[in-house]
Structure 1
Amino acid sequence: MSAAALAHPRLRAWPVTSRDRLALALWNAAEIAAATGGIASGEFQCSGVEMDSRDVRVGDLFIALKGEAMDGHRFLDKAFAAGASAAIVDRPVDWPHVLVQDTTAALHALAAAARERSPAKRIAVTGSVGKTGVKEAIFSALDRASRGQAHRSVRSYNNHVGVPLSLSRMGARAQYGVFEMGMNHAGEIAPLAEHVCPDVAVITTIAPAHIENLGTVDAIADEKAQIFTGLRPGGAAVIPADSPQFDRLRVHAEAAGADIYSFGRSKNARVRLLDAIPAANGGASLVTAQIDDTRLCYSVAEPGEHWIDNSLAVMATVYAVGGDLGAAGVALGEMGGLKGRGARHAISAAGGRATLIDESYNANPASMRATLAQLGQTPASRRIAVLGAMGELGEFSARFHEQLLDPIEAAHVDFAVLVGEAMEPLVRKMGTSHTNGLGNAPGFAHCAGPAEAIAALEEFGLNAGDAILVKGSNSVGLGRLVDHFVSRG
């Protein structure tokens, strides 16, 4: 016995739980073979799971997925050169492996095995706006409360491949798992919910994203509500009380037998905003909320009215899983912006530094309005908006792009760079605009792509104290513009 144990008898009496007996390795050969029905080539252990050879790290299990145009087996050499411990394959190879008939089916089976072996409470998050940020905030809150025993999907791994991959990465010791779910067409959410089988299902908001494929906002709400079909018995539904589709969502949740945790500013919300005081400099907000019989006061580091609403969804979720609300408040007060979703950068400008707000990953009418409003609240000598076209709006595209003029003017934008052909209706309307709230029409440039947008912004010139919002659908590629200006230091 060590001298430390003799000196401190409590060390010998430290309680051992069933969780302490679980393996530290994510997967070993026997577990993978049992989960997938495959045959292991030998003994090995893996610390991660990856499907892209470019992202493989030392110790990963590489799954050689096959698609219509790509076969992961072609990249086995690269995966093992990067440090993979083993692979799941559908043909014998010279590397350590588990041989299966279908690698995609094996991924699904591995995800199911990860779900079944873990006692973790699982949270599924979807919504037209804010799902990645809310997912990250829920994770931060639960990870702090569990001292690092929370798991979440990374990036936007929210589709038919990303969700099972994220599940397969969840360790047996995890106490919480937070998974994002996205969709472009009807029928995509329910299979994802079935994969995760969540204890809590969260819908952040409903907005006309992907309306080209679903036709109406009500149809979008109905599809998002399919997340409730995967709920475990006794599960909870977290839904926005202020949404015009609230009653529609509530009916779906009740049909699934869910306990409902509504959030928002409505007097009937179960998690209700009582007061919010934004910081004078456009930074953190001080929020007071009522949750059943409990009153909370906490700060939200992320700026903007939409993040006040997001924080209520986070608190509702933590409350629904029986988590630590105090830890959630601390986590919300410490969160920083995500790359492409609100990260702020101090960049080089004439006479000093300017602030670039990176919202380049995604855009729809609701998120465009929210982030333009945030720009309007940001102290700046000049406000500049680089706005990329919004995708998947179909026949509604011209109207929704044209309607961006009002939030642009309300934000007192001095110069707008409009990127993409779909911005043409807004370009025409801005050409007839007469005021930006200060008596002057905002200047603007219309560009075909990121390279032209960079040139237009450089020609306009950035000055110390400027605030530049970069927002657009990921397909526009405005991340290139962000990287260009951030890399200059």
Structure 2
Amino acid sequence: MSAVLDWPVAPDDDLGTALWTADGIAQATGGTTGGEPFAVAGATTDSREVMAGDLFIALRGGTADGHRFIEGAFANGAAGALVETPVAHPHVLVADSAAALDGLGRAARARLMPEARVIGVTGSAGKTGVKEALYAALDRSSRGQAHRSVKSYNNHVGVPLSLVRMPARARFGVFEMGMNHAGELSALTQLVRPHVAVITTIAPAHIGHFSGEEAIADAKAEIFEGLEPGGVAIIPADNPHVERLAAVAARHAARVIRFGTAADADVRLIDAIPTASGGTLVTAEFAASTGIQRKLCYTISQPGAHWAVNSLAVMAAVAVVGGDLGAAGLALAELPDLAGRGARHTIAADGGDGSGTALVIDESYNANPASMRVTLAQLGATPARRRVAVLGAMLELGEGSDGYHADLAGPIHAAGVARAVLVGAEMAALNAALGKMREPALAAAIDFVHVPGAAQAAELIGSGEWAPQGGDVILIKGSNSVGLGALVRALTERRPGGDDWHGRQATGDI
């Protein structure tokens, strides 16, 4: 009882309870307040996402001007706005909203307690999953005092906005940073100023904007430029470009930790065993360089060898920032599926093995040659009566696009895919490659079809012989702009007989 009576009646700091006040925003951005004083509990640049008590940041973009949506933002409950022109609502007036967003993000990072720790994550694949896993691990061990960028808020708007949303009392911050041109990560990491910087892997994502994978590695290594003094770099030991990454990291980091299966990895995967629930039981060895020389055994809920390896980076980062490894292991065991990045859905399906259900694997958010190969391998390891792959085009691959697409023919056959739907003009090269492998002497026959877009893929799979059947496992993967997410939504809402399906086709939801 005495402990309850002694509970503090006021915080032991002067940070206040609001995320931001009007005066705090003005001080951070060099702006001037207008209208009634206000305080906010959240922030957004999208008027459609405004919730009661939010700050609406009106940005001028190439296709839209946020100032046009001021009234809608306040109708949705905005408490204040950050604007370039005065409005008839509580606001902070600035000369440049984009620059002000950066300034507010810097202020958010600067006001963290000295003991708080910030982690930056980048990579050609797996960065969102690693970010989410890190957040889950640290949020559990800190009892709700961790913060992270949501969705894939990893660009010049998403990163500062994610910083702005970070409470001043956060003990941990986890931020995803992406890029498709050199120099972008250099700017983002200077905003985030991480204590730990993680690179998941280097692969030919966005290679159309670069001279080769070495240039991609150099661009990803820019994340190390923002490391705080004494900072730690965590890099993939099995990647062909690891020494290139290590050389850059050594110029900015006090320690460089390698993770993977390589013999010289500081966090080394010893064993990865699939579990009955579909996850993976991982055994890992931590070298003295990590500060916790020992072996650890833990379970991750997500299937696949790539998750087993990436979990090593997660645990290494948790160890470096002083998180609870036991809590981290529990968090990884309970990590939920990520929409668009491996989420699994059981849907109704007629025929087939008579089970009445099929499995949909949603990888619709992104695709590059490396992630396609990894995901197809995981499809091949998934028990199924029949494996179906709906594969959307991989974009921004430059002059090598045809070759990268054609090279997927081998992984498709290796995965035991029975049917493939190839979506998008870029998939013509894979269509041709699969055609060349139709000879029985070369490989088992695959039924495949090439369609121009997601709508045609949806129409094909909606009914008839291409419709899901009992026991099917259906992988749906492609670059986000291909639009295969709509196909996932349609399939996951499916009822036996397909009544809902045709209704959505008629209303244009697919």
Q: Deviations over 1:329-355 (max 9, x none)?
A: 111111122110011111121041110
Q: Secondary structure at the match of 1:362?
A: coil
Per the alignment, residue 479 of structure 1 pairs with 485
Distance 1:455 1:436, change over 3 A: farther
- Which residue type is aligned with residue 31 of structure 2? G
What is residue 305 of structure 2 aligned with on the other side? 305
Which residue of structure 2 lines up, in the alignment, with residue 135 of structure 1? 131
* Matched residue type, 2:26: A
Cα gap change, 1:462/1:309 in structure 2, threshold over 3 Å: closer, same or farther? Answer: same
Of residues 226, 232, 237, the one that matches 2:233 is 237
- In structure 2, what is the equivalent of residue 339 of structure 1? 339
Q: Is residue 403 of structure 2 the alignment partner of residue 410 of structure 1?
A: no
Partners of 1:304 and 1:382 in 2: CA distance:
19
Structure 1 stretch 119-128 or stretch 453-462: which is displaced more? 453-462
| C-alpha separation in 1, matches of 2:214 and 2:389 | 31
Q: Give the secondary structure class of the aligned counterpart of 2:151.
A: coil
Q: Is the CA contact 2:235–2:258 (under 8 Å) kept in the aligned structure 1? A: yes
Distance of aligned partners of 1:438 and 1:426 in 2 relative to their CA distance in 1, 3 Å threshold: closer
2:220 corresponds to which residue?
A: 224
Among 286, 289, 298, the residue aligned to 1:291: 286
Report the 3-state secondary structure (helix = DSSP H, G, I; strand = E; otherwise coil) of the residue aligned with 2:413.
helix
**Residue 434 of structure 1: CA displacement?**
3.8
Maintained 8 Å contact 1:141/1:328: yes
SS of match in other structure, 1:431: helix
Aligned identity (percent) is 58
Q: Secondary structure at the match of 1:375?
A: helix
Tell me if structure 1 keeps the 8 A contact 2:233–2:253: no
Gaps of 5+ in 2: 288-292, 496-510
Task: Please give the alpha-carbon distance, in whole angstroms, between the structure 1 residues aligned to 2:11 and 2:441.
Answer: 63
Distance 1:19 1:348, change over 3 A: farther
Residues 19 and 338 (structure 1 numbering): CA distance in 2 closer, same or farther, change over 3 Å?
A: farther
State the shift of 1:477 in Å: 0.7
2:503 is matched with: none
In 2, the alpha carbon distance for the partners of 1:390 and 1:107 equals 32
Q: CA deviation at 1:106?
A: 1.1
Structure 1 position 399 matched with structure 2 position 393: no
**Structure 2 CA distance for partners of 1:361 and 1:45, relative to 1, 3 Å:** same
* 1:148-179 CA distance string (max 9 Å, x none): 11111111111111110110000111111111
The answer as to 2:30 corresponding to 1:34 is no
The residue aligned with 1:70 is 64
Counterpart of 1:290, as a letter, is E
Is 1:107 the counterpart of 2:101? The answer is yes
- Is the CA contact (8 Å cut-off) linking 2:413 and 2:444 kept in structure 1? no
Q: Please tell me whether residue 374 in structure 1 is matched to residue 369 in structure 2.
A: no
1:377-428 CA distance string (max 9 Å, x none):
1111110000001011111111111110111011100100000111111111
CA distance in 2, matches of 1:14, 1:379: 54
Asked whether the equivalents of residues 413 and 443 of structure 2 are also in contact (C-alpha less than 8 Å), the reply is no
| 1:289-312, Cα deviation, whole Å (9 max, x unpaired) | 111211110001101111001111
TM-score, with normalisation over the residues of structure 2? 0.92
Deviations 1:238-267 (A, max 9, x none): 100111111000000001133111101111
Give 3-state SS (helix, strand or coil) of 1:238's partner. Answer: strand
- The alpha-carbon deviation at position 21 of structure 1 amounts to 5.0
* Cα pair 1:412 1:438 within 8 Å, conserved: no
Report the Cα distance in structure 2 between the residues aligned to 1:393 and 1:217, rounded to whole angstroms.
11
Distance 2:164 2:52 in 1: 17
* Residue 424 of structure 1, aligned match among 398, 410, 428: 428
Instruction: Give, in whole Å, the separation in 2 of the partners of 1:181 and 1:375.
Output: 28
Amino acid at match of 1:11: V
Map of 1:74-89 to 2, 5 A cutoff? Answer: 74-89=68-83
Instruction: Give the structure 2 partner of residue 93 of structure 1.
Output: 87
Q: State the Cα distance separating 1:67 from its structure 2 match.
A: 2.1
Q: 2:461 aligns with which of 453, 457, 460?
A: 457
User: Which one-letter code corresponds to 2:333 in the other structure?
Assistant: G
Shift of 1:436: 9.2
Distance (Å, rounded) in 1 between the aligned partners of 2:15 and 2:418: 58
Q: Deviations over 1:187-217 (max 9, x none)?
A: 1110000010110000000001111111211
The size of the alignment, in residue pairs, is 481
Query: Taking structure 1 as reference, are residues 210 and 437 closer, same or farther at Cα in structure 2, changes over 3 Å only?
Result: farther
Pick aligned residue for 2:110 from 91, 116, 120:
116
Q: How does 1:261-272 map to 2 (within 5 A)?
A: 261-272=257-268
- Contact in 2 for aligned 1:151/1:176 (Cα 8 Å): yes
Per the TM alignment, residue 18 of structure 1 is displaced from its structure 2 partner at its CA by 6.7
Give the conservation status (yes or no) of the 8 Å contact 2:437–2:443. Answer: no
Q: What is the CA-CA distance between 1:33 and the residue it aligns to?
A: 1.4
- Between the aligned partners of 2:73 and 2:328, the Cα distance in structure 1 is 38
Counterpart check, 1:166 vs 2:162:
yes
User: 5 Å matches for 1:19-58?
Assistant: 22-41=15-34, 42-58=36-52
| 1:23, distance to aligned residue in structure 2 (A) | 2.0
Q: Judge conservation of contact 1:384–1:468 (CA < 8 Å) in 2.
A: yes
Cα distance in 1, alignment partners of residues 10 and 252 from structure 2: 34
Residue in structure 2 matched with residue 317 of structure 1 by the alignment: 317
Post-superposition Cα deviations, 1:75-123, rounded to whole Å, max 9, x if no partner, equal 0000000110000112221111111121111111111110011123111
Residue 457 of structure 1: how far off its partner (Å): 2.0
What SS is found at the alignment partner of 2:436? coil
Asked if the contact 1:58–1:83 (Cα under 8 Å) also holds between the matched residues in 2, the reply is yes
Q: Distance in 1 between matches of 2:166 and 2:439?
A: 53
User: 1:180 is aligned with what amino acid?
Assistant: E
Q: Which amino acid aligns with 2:404?
A: F
What CA RMSD, in Å, does the superposition of the two structures yield over aligned residues? 1.7
How far apart are the structure 1 equivalents of 2:304 and 2:439? Answer: 24
Asked whether the equivalents of residues 118 and 194 of structure 2 are also in contact (C-alpha less than 8 Å), the reply is yes
Pick from 192, 206, 209 the counterpart of residue 210 of structure 1: 206
Inter-CA distance 86–412: structure 2 relative to 1 (3 Å threshold): same
List alignment gaps of at least 5 residues for structure 1.
Answer: 1-7
Q: Give the whole-Å Cα distance in 2 for the aligned partners of 1:83 and 1:146.
A: 31
Q: What are the superposed Cα offsets for residues 406-456 of structure 1, whole Å, 9 maximum, x if unpaired?
A: 110111001000001111111111112147999631110101001111122
- Alpha-carbon shift at residue 12 of structure 1 (Å): 3.2
Q: What is the alpha-carbon distance in structure 2 between the residues aligned to residue 141 and residue 20 of structure 1?
A: 26
CA distance in 1, matches of 2:367, 2:222: 23
What is the rounded CA distance, in whole Å, between the counterparts of 1:67 and 1:462 in structure 2?
Answer: 42
Which amino acid is the alignment partner of residue 63 of structure 1? I
Q: Secondary structure at the match of 1:182?
A: coil
Which residue does 2:175 correspond to in 1? Answer: 179
Q: 1:237, 1:260 within 8 Å by CA — same for their partners in 2?
A: yes
Distance 1:183 1:358 in 2: 23
Q: Is the 8 A contact 1:289 1:296 kept in 2?
A: yes
What SS class does the counterpart of residue 56 from structure 2 fall into?
Answer: strand
Cα pair 1:107 1:165 within 8 Å, conserved: yes
